[in-house]
Amino acid sequence: MGLFILRRSAVMILTAICLTFIVFFLTNLYPNLEKLAKTQGNFRMSDEAVTSWLTKNGYLQPLPVKYGQWLGVLPGWVIDADDGVTGRCITGTVSPKVAEQAASYCGIIQGNWGQSTVFKDEVGGIIAARLGRTGALMFWVMLLMVPSALVVGVMAGMNEGSKTDRTLSTFSIITTATPEYVSGVIFIAVFASSAVGLKWFKGTATQAAKNMPDDYGIAWLPDWMVGFWYRVFEAPTLENFLLPVLTIALYGMGYIARMTRASMAEVMTAQYIRTARLKGVKFSNIVMKHALRNALIAPFTVIMLQIPWLLNGVVIVETLFNYKGFGWAMVQAAGNNDIELLLGVSVVSVMVVLATQLISDIGYVYLNPRIRIT
Amino acid sequence: MEPLGTFEIIARVLYQFTSVWLALIILFAVSIAFKRRLGLYGKLFDSPIGMVGFALVMFWIFTGVFGQFDLIVTHDSLSQVSGMKNKVPGTPMPRPEEGEYAWYLLGGDNLARDVFSRVIDGAWVVVQIAPLATLFAFMVGITLGLPAGYFGGRLDTGISFMANLILAFPVILLFYLLVTPEIVLTGVPNFMAAVLFIFPVVFAGVLINSRYHTQPKFRTPLMIVVLGGMLWVYLSLISTNGYLVSNKDYAIPALPEILDLFDVSGGILVVFVSVVFVNSPTVFRIVRGLAMDIKTRDYVAAAQTRGEGAWYIMLWEILPNARGPLIVDFCLRIGYTTILLGTLGFFGLGLPPESPDWGSTINEGRKLLSIYLHPALPPALALLSLVLGLNLLADGLREESLKD
């Protein structure tokens, strides 16, 4: 088992390196750099001005060198100009003496995620704050999605072909056919529109995000606990949080429910269930005590593998409901070619994807005694 | 003129679809009459769910196609009529010209265009791209997945790693990286098109060769005709104005303009490529799994004992026996591709901003959603019904194919 995890982790790191290199390559193509220079400098820059701006900021070095510097395995660039020294690890223009004090390596390994050009802030800080908000969203999504999907799936699967099964299966097919940007629009139209709707909820979650500041004042609890409590229970209200949560949960739910149904239906045809029935065990007991445990192995993997898909939903929903979280930051970074922020975002999301894959593999082995790894 | 009432709007919308209703009735009447002779397709008409799904899918296909023949649309989907901005459904035109439809059946959007006609034209965008893109993704997935599953080993590890690499990418980030105008300028999507679109040609070549290589007299002419035709289409597809890529730094010539059969407009090509790129790893994984399962069967062992070549076994023994799950997945995947196209439109990527596709229309409509519902809701419901139809169709097919 230890070797398995070790090997998987190695593949994970290799994948992350390959992916970030692809992102690095695509964001560092010359037209993208030119756009960056023009948004940072001014839009009427001549070609020479663009080149000199890019040189001054270290963007025109060879690609592998730049990537090495970002990763932190090569020393950061330093340029001596007339008015002082600039460099990757130096903020602003400083005198040569100060420059000598600065660290020579400053990449992601050293914990330096770089500067965001859109938000004018540290990438690490931005990502941490945004991830906290998205985490609150995901918490409620999972809390709503997983139990209801499992209930729907088990109810449908325990009597295959019955009327309940037909109804619930149709319901799950409808939810899988409704992408977030469709269900979100319908929800806003029905529940939030000021023209004809019910006006029960708000069509934006901006307020919920605003109520989640980055630092919290209570000293006697660990910071992250206060933050977690505050983000998840205090800041969001039913009015501004239900619609986004429902929108994401609904799309993911149908798939998990269908998988649970298939798994449950399969278990219900097994020999030991028939034996239990012939012994005269009550049907509710058969379902709860005999079938459920085995039927929930497959959905566990599905739920874990669903998390990367939820990430897509998060981006759409955060854009639609204007909730300034991780997905929103990703759209901003991608739209403005904010290289360092984009890289940070992709590192985080790739890690999430790979970690959930690893957990689902380990969990599957742990839950299913029939599988042994050699 | 008076604005239309609700019932009148519904009646008029239904009337506009007359040609679609007729086509659907004819199709269903013929199919049900001959269903015993039509194989799996005929069996579809035994399952109510499959029939509903098929009807929904065909409804949008007919709508898309007939919309192009001006049978359904009431106005030009791009023209703006002053005074119709954000008007509610059933508003009469201010000064209708002779022969012009006098109402905006589903109202006007924020640029005073007819919502109804835009939804109909949006169907054509989906009908054009989604099935074809899915087919290409299947070609790529099958051509790579069969050898990976059949041979296993290093080849499998290598291709699987690449597939997992693409799958680990968040789809939207990938779209943003591939579809922005700056990237399009460098020609990255064109190179990807050149690589991805060669797979159907390779597939056809291997398919024919593995079957007929013992009869060179028959094989060689067949190969020349099929591959020649496909290569021509391939080159026409990837080259625009005689070049594969042409920007201010460099240009790579491709097919000369005289021989170029058709031009795919830049936006559509980029969208097409990115959708194929995102879909093919999943298809690859499915085909690989099926190939690993089927290669242990007796008929494969029999073919191996006969001394058949590896590609013959893969393409003529394994692939036909994997068709059931693949057909079902094909339907589901067209639905997923439709969702992806909508996502692209929703983020304003790829297609031109005035394009009538459903995703872009939803994106424009959502900005004023709290005041005006009518521009965003029709395309949203259209997309929902098409994807639902495809999912139901896949469900019906799965059920019927499991019955044998």
pLDDT of residue B190: 85
pLDDT of residue A71: 84
Decide: residue B373, CB within 10 A, 0-12 exposed, 13-18 middle, 19+ buried. Answer: buried
CB within 8 Å: A177 and B335: yes
ipTM for the whole complex = 0.85
CB within 8 Å: B173 and A330: yes
- Point out which residues pair with A81 in neighbouring strands: A84
Q: Are strands A84-87 and A78-81 parallel, antiparallel or unpaired?
A: antiparallel
CB within 8 Å: A18 and B165: yes
Q: Name chain A contacts of B186, Cβ cutoff 8 Å.
A: 29-31
Report which residue type is found at A253. Answer: M
CA atoms within a 13 Å half-sphere pointing along the CA-CB vector of B231: 10
CB within 8 Å: A189 and B161: no
pLDDT of residue A197: 64
Identify the CA nearest to B330 among candidates B294, B286, B277, B384. Answer: B286
Identify the CA nearest to A112 among candidates A97, A99, A101, A127. Answer: A127
> Residue A15: which residues within 8 A CB-CB, separation 6 or more?
A350, A354, B161, B164, B165, B168
Gap from A107 CA to chain B (nearest CA, Å): 22
Q: Are B303 and B206 members of one domain?
A: yes
Segment-wise mean pLDDT, segments of 10 residues, chain A, 374 residues: 82 87 87 82 79 81 86 78 72 71 76 81 84 85 91 88 88 91 88 71 69 54 60 68 89 89 88 90 87 83 80 88 88 84 86 84 74 51
pLDDT of residue A374: 43
Residue B129 near residue B271 (C-beta atoms within 8 A) = yes
Number of compact structural domains in chain B? 2
Q: Name chain A contacts of B164, Cβ cutoff 8 Å.
A: 15
* Beta carbons within 10 angstroms of residue B15's beta carbon: 10
pTM for the full model? 0.88
Decide: residue B66, CB within 10 A, 0-12 exposed, 13-18 middle, 19+ buried. Answer: buried
* Beta carbons within 10 angstroms of residue B331's beta carbon: 24
Pick from A182, A194, A195: which is nearest to B384 by CB?
A182
- In Å, how far from its chain's centre is CA B160? 25
CB within 8 Å: A29 and B182: yes
Last residue of a domain, one of B317, B337, B357: B337
Identify the CA nearest to A230 among candidates A214, A248, A207. Answer: A214
Gap from B168 CA to chain A (nearest CA, Å): 6
Q: Name the E strands within chain A.
A: 78-81, 84-87, 90-94, 115-116, 121-122
**Location of structure tokens 């009529």:** B81
Residue B221 lies in a domain: yes
Optimal mutation site among B115, B169, B172, interface A, most CBs of chain A within 10 A: B172
Tell me which chain A residue has its CA closest to the CA of residue B349: A335
> Residue B50: which residues within 8 A CB-CB, separation 6 or more?
B44, B392, B393, B395, B396, B397, B399, B400
CB within 8 Å: B391 and A26: no
Give the three-state DSSP class for A60. coil
Rg of chain A in Å (alpha carbons): 26
Q: Are B37 and B129 members of one domain?
A: no
pLDDT of residue A220: 53
Q: Are B316 and B392 members of one domain?
A: no
Gap from B383 CA to chain A (nearest CA, Å): 8
In angstroms, rounded to a whole number, what is the distance separating the alpha carbons of residues B157 and B141?
15
CB within 8 Å: A189 and B376: yes
In angstroms, rounded to a whole number, what is the distance separating the alpha carbons of residues A279 and A259?
29
Tell me which chain A residue has its CA closest to the CA of residue B381: A182
Residue B368 lies in a domain: no
Q: Are B225 and B246 members of one domain?
A: yes
Decide: residue A251, CB within 10 A, 0-12 exposed, 13-18 middle, 19+ buried. Answer: buried
pLDDT of residue A238: 67
Q: Are B96 and B238 members of one domain?
A: no
Report which residue type is found at B247. Answer: N
CB within 8 Å: B362 and A331: no
Report which residue type is found at B154. Answer: R
CB within 8 Å: B168 and A330: no
> Residue A196: which residues within 8 A CB-CB, separation 6 or more?
B373
Q: Are B130 and B47 members of one domain?
A: no
Pick from B177, B370, B388: which is nearest to A192 by CB?
B370
In angstroms, rounded to a whole number, what is the distance separating the alpha carbons of residues B65 and B404?
35
Give the three-state DSSP class for B103. strand
Optimal mutation site among A35, A182, A194, A255, interface B, most CBs of chain B within 10 A: A182
Residue B367 lies in a domain: no
For residue A39, give the DSSP letter. H
Task: Write out chain B's pLDDT in tens, 404 residues.
Answer: 677 778 888 888 888 888 889 999 999 999 888 888 888 788 888 888 889 999 999 999 999 999 888 888 888 877 777 777 777 787 777 777 776 777 777 878 888 788 888 888 889 989 988 999 999 999 999 999 999 999 988 999 999 999 988 888 888 888 888 888 778 878 888 888 889 999 999 999 999 998 888 888 888 999 999 999 999 888 888 877 767 777 666 777 777 777 776 777 767 888 889 999 999 999 999 999 999 989 899 999 999 999 888 999 999 999 999 888 899 899 999 999 999 999 999 988 878 878 888 988 888 888 887 778 888 889 999 999 999 999 999 988 888 877 76
Gap from A116 CA to chain B (nearest CA, Å): 17
Q: Are B95 and B202 members of one domain?
A: no
Gap from A316 CA to chain B (nearest CA, Å): 8
CB within 8 Å: A308 and B168: yes
Gap from A110 CA to chain B (nearest CA, Å): 24
Instruction: State pLDDT tens for residues A37-60.
Output: 887 777 777 888 888 888 877 788
Q: Name chain B contacts of A22, Cβ cutoff 8 Å.
A: 165
What does the domain layout of chain A look like in residue ranges?
Answer: 2-100, 124-367
Cβ pairs A/B, distance under 8 A: 141
Gap from B192 CA to chain A (nearest CA, Å): 13
Q: Are B260 and B290 members of one domain?
A: yes
Total residues belonging to chain B: 404
Q: Are B93 and B131 members of one domain?
A: no
CB within 8 Å: B164 and A15: yes
Optimal mutation site among B126, B343, B369, interface A, most CBs of chain A within 10 A: B369
Report which residue type is found at A119. Answer: F
Q: Are B38 and B105 members of one domain?
A: yes
What's domain A124-367's superfamily in CATH? MetI-like (1.10.3720.10)
Residue B369 lies in a domain: no
Range of the domain at B331: 125-337
Give the three-state DSSP class for B244. strand
CB within 8 Å: B168 and A354: yes
CB within 8 Å: A185 and B343: no
Q: Are B203 and B301 members of one domain?
A: yes
> Residue B245: which residues within 8 A CB-CB, separation 6 or more?
B187, B190, B191, B251, B252
pLDDT of residue A348: 87
Q: Are B162 and B180 members of one domain?
A: yes
Identify the CA nearest to B96 among candidates B78, B71, B114, B119. Answer: B114
Residue B351 lies in a domain: no
Give the three-state DSSP class for B253. strand
Give the three-state DSSP class for A91. strand
- Secondary structure (DSSP) of A197-222: S---S-S--HHHHHT--S----SSS-
Give the torsion through C-alpha atoms of A307, A244, A260, A355, to 10 deg: 10
Q: Name chain B contacts of A15, Cβ cutoff 8 Å.
A: 161, 164-165, 168
Residue B101 lies in a domain: yes
